[in-house]
Structure 1
Amino acid sequence: MSATAPTRARRGHDGWWPLLFVLPTMFGVVLFYLWPIVQTGYFSFTEWGAFGGQTWVGTENYRRLADEPDLGTAVVNTLVYTAIVLLGIPIAMFVASLLSRPGLRFSGFYRVLYFMPYVAMPTAVAMVWRLIYNGDFGILNWALALVGIDGPAWTSTPGFALVAVSIVGLWTSLGFAIIILSAGLKTIPPELYEASSLDGATAWRQFRSVTVPLLTPSVFFVSVITVINGFQLFDLLYALMGQGNPAIQQTQSLVYLFYNEAFLRNDKGFAAAIAMVILLIVGAVTLLQFRMQKRWVTYA
């Protein structure tokens, strides 16, 4: 009895040690993530004065938001941008498959080249692409002029500005998707390729029947991150187009609409309501992705 009692006591006390290690992380999550959400939710029911101070207005900000004409435009623009950026996933899957071929030299160097735009500052990326998109001396319009096409002012024409921004977003996100999908490819057993080769499967058949199904968990992860990042579009849009751009009103995203209301019009209560709408949309879309992944994601 005397030998087992201390052992049970030690086991009981050991249950608290993991909490001590988790507490700093949980404190950071509560302080920097959960509390700002609660605070923003409270601010969305208030009206701010020009020099600070809040007045409780109930659901007035949400009623105003339902009548806001720019909200629908911002939602559509954000969805279009996210959809175009998602097109980079099949491209990244193809590139990752090429970089994972046995015997390919300098494959690590190629992955670094693809990954560099993802870690670069969005402002620096935007400055480079502003030169490319320039309507007067940009290299894109120069290349189009060689084949007799008169290119538009890409970032200041409403019909082209959102597509131009989305292409840059696709380009910058490609490296992240390639790295994740390359890691996923390494988890596929090579015996499956050998067995399918013995059965007479071509390289395309192996890619379609072996690579793609077993890579779906990585594709699912990349798609969730891409959608979340797509709904956070702001810095690239702001740096690429500029504040005085005539097309910014038709190209603004949800986060840009929040910025415009919070910091330009100084209507922080209304902006907080926009932030809560963004949170609800992102949460709903992410939940839908997790529900739908049961139908197409294959876990080996």
Structure 2
Amino acid sequence: MNQTSVSVKTAPTFKKKKSKDVWWALLFVGPTVIGLFTFYIGPAIASFALSFTHWDGLTSPRFAGLENLKALFTSPVFLRSLLNTLVFMIVAVPASVALATLIAVLLNQRIKGMIVYRALYFLPVVTMPIAVGMVWKWLYNTEYGLFNYLLGAVGLPQPEWLFNPSIALISVIAVYVWMTIGNNVILILAGLQNVDTGYYEAAQIDGASKVRQFFSITLPLITPTLFFVIVTAMISSLQVFDLLFVMIGDTAALVGPLRTIVYGVYESGFMFSQMGYASAQAFVLFLLILVITIIQFIGQKKWVHYDN
């Protein structure tokens, strides 16, 4: 009898407390959810709808069906930008992840002053891309840039780093890798520090070399971290724009080997007021990112090893 009366008395209190917790949760989550819908989900839906229209940003949109998509895939300029974007990703991501893994392994050692080295590698990440682009634009300058000055001092050729079609894309990729490698290093370093040292002690007893330990222990155990790094790096590389825009800043140059899909979105939407055509390019980029991400999630079952 007493137990029944106690449960009856405490039930409303429990429900009231639970309801209060829900309201507090909504209060804290609300700003993030509102921002997500306002700045991401809402614009994405609007961009998808606009991709089927002709709209100059001032007059009312006119329904165009699949005309924008047809125009895209019959445009040599867009196809070139699509190819450049894929090449940028294929070259930049493996280079960035491989170098970040090597540097993270080195930074994981017990060396005096290691905190300083870690901070130095992370500095480019917290530097604005505009500042990075301006500095590297000066370094690459054909007439008075530091690189060509040093090459000229030893009698070597002085290339046009940003305007020679054969090396322009590689030159920008090198800057992108330098700018993003710090973030990848921090993430991989966190994965390395979660590896149980007992595995290495057992490997040393068995006489395994450092190289064998890296490929047999370190690499398999950090594959979840590497998977996350690769996915985010691919998405980031497919969306590259600000670095290219600051370093080149010339539409004529970006028509060629340095033109990317995102630059095409900017050019069509904000320079030529072709909002529908720009939205169609953004939609194609979204589908490209979606397909590549899905392929990665399917393929990760074969090489990512989760510690159960």
> Separation in 1 of the partners of 2:240 and 2:51?
21
The Cα of 1:84 is off from its aligned counterpart by 2.0
> Separation in 1 of the partners of 2:164 and 2:254?
6
CA-to-partner distance for each residue in 1:26-45, whole Å, 9 max, x for gaps? 23222221111111111111
Choose from 20, 31, 35 the match for 2:42.
35
Query: What are the equivalent positions in structure 2 for 1:7-86 lying under 5 Å apart?
Result: 7-9=10-12, 14=18, 17-18=21-22, 20=26, 21-49=28-56, 51-86=58-93
CA contact (8 A) 1:97 1:182 kept: yes
Choose from 214, 219, 222 the match for 2:221.
214
1:168 aligns with 2:172: no
Choose from 93, 102, 108 the match for 1:100.
108
Q: Which 4+ stretches in 1 moved above 6 angstroms?
A: none
The Cα of 1:8 is off from its aligned counterpart by 4.5
Instruction: Tell me the equivalent position of 1:231.
Output: 238
Deviates more, 1:175-184 or 1:25-34: 25-34
> Separation in 2 of the partners of 1:274 and 1:7?
59
Deviates more, 1:118-127 or 1:12-21: 12-21
What secondary structure, in the 3-state scheme, does the structure 2 residue paired with 1:158 have? coil
The Cα of 1:147 is off from its aligned counterpart by 5.3
What secondary structure, in the 3-state scheme, does the structure 2 residue paired with 1:3 have? helix
The Cα of 1:57 is off from its aligned counterpart by 1.8
> Separation in 1 of the partners of 2:286 and 2:12?
45
Query: What are the equivalent positions in structure 2 for 1:110-125 lying under 5 Å apart?
Result: 110-125=117-132
> Separation in 2 of the partners of 1:267 and 1:50?
8
> Separation in 2 of the partners of 1:143 and 1:81?
27
Instruction: Tell me the equivalent position of 2:166.
Output: 159
1:3 aligns with 2:9: no
The Cα of 1:297 is off from its aligned counterpart by 0.9
CA contact (8 A) 2:73 2:79 kept: no
Choose from 267, 278, 300 the match for 1:271.
278
Instruction: Tell me the equivalent position of 1:89.
Output: 97
What secondary structure, in the 3-state scheme, does the structure 1 residue paired with 2:100 have? helix
TM-score w.r.t. the length of structure 2 is: 0.90
The 3 A distance-change label for structure 1 pair 50 and 180 is: closer
Aligned residue type for 1:41: F
The Cα of 1:134 is off from its aligned counterpart by 1.5
Aligned residue type for 2:21: W
CA contact (8 A) 1:154 1:161 kept: yes
CA-to-partner distance for each residue in 1:82-132, whole Å, 9 max, x for gaps? 122211111111111111112x01111111111111111111111111122
Percent identity between the aligned chains?
35
User: How many residue pairs align between the two structures?
Assistant: 299
The 3 A distance-change label for structure 1 pair 207 and 50 is: closer
Choose from 297, 301, 306 the match for 1:299.
306
Deviates more, 1:123-132 or 1:12-21: 12-21
Can you give the 5+ residue segments of structure 2 that lack an aligned partner in the other structure? none
TM-score w.r.t. the length of structure 1 is: 0.93
CA-to-partner distance for each residue in 1:19-70, whole Å, 9 max, x for gaps? 5243443232222211111111111111114733211222221222221211
CA contact (8 A) 1:161 1:247 kept: no
CA contact (8 A) 2:268 2:275 kept: yes
Can you give the 5+ residue segments of structure 1 that lack an aligned partner in the other structure? none
Aligned residue type for 1:205: R
> Separation in 1 of the partners of 2:29 and 2:112?
43
> Separation in 2 of the partners of 1:288 and 1:239?
32
1:259 aligns with 2:262: no
RMSD: 2.0
CA contact (8 A) 2:52 2:63 kept: yes
CA-to-partner distance for each residue in 1:121-169, whole Å, 9 max, x for gaps? 1111111111221122322223334554313211012221111111100
The 3 A distance-change label for structure 1 pair 123 and 23 is: closer
